[in-house]
Amino acid sequence: MTKVVNYISEAFEELKSNVTWPAWPEVQRLTIVVAVFSVLFALATWGVDEIFAKALAGFFNWIKA
């Protein structure tokens, strides 16, 4: 158990002393960029799903006829 506690304390010390954190305006800007691209990717995924669903429905209707 002491190894786990030691690992966690060393990880926090590493985060405090050796990591360069971005400035708050940069964090806000990058968050907006990630949100926009997430929405665009979700819309693209939805669009491809709709196209495949309609194509498969058309294919199965064609086979039924």
The torsion region of residue 47 among left (phi > 0), alpha (psi -120 to 50) and beta comes to: alpha
pLDDT in tens, 20-58: 989 999 999 999 999 999 999 999 999 999 999 999 999
**Is the torsion defined by CA of 25, 26, 28, 29 positive or negative?**
positive
pTM for the complete prediction? 0.67
